[in-house]
Amino acid sequence: MNVLAKIYVTLKGSVLDPQGAAVTHALHALRYEAVQDVRIGKYMEVTLEADTRERADELVRGMCDQLLTNPVIEKYTFELVEAR
């Protein structure tokens, strides 16, 4: 089956996010005073073929650990959707 992996990469909580801080300031300047914090991450879509959902899960985890994220500063979550 074809699987679409929707992967969300974010900075670990302990890592400062200068882009997020700049966007927070810009939103405050636009009078969105309700904004408390912005963290900027990445969203990736990977389409792959796998026999089972478990196999797709294993493959995506491998890709995230090896290339798609840097475990020193980033963490990730993903969801798998059956694609046509």
One residue of 2, 8, 22, 77 binding other proteins per CB under 8 A: 22
Mark the segment that binds other proteins (CB under 8 A) among 16-24, 27-35, 46-54, 56-64. Answer: 16-24
Per rule CB under 8 A, is residue 70 in the interface with other proteins? yes
One residue of 1, 8, 19, 58 binding other proteins per CB under 8 A: 19
CA atoms within 13 A on the CB side of 72: 1
Q: Which is nearer to other proteins, 1 or 22 (CB)?
A: 22
Contacts of 71 (CB under 8 A, 6+ apart): 65
From residue 78, alpha-carbon distances to 4, 40, 67 in Å are: 10, 16, 15
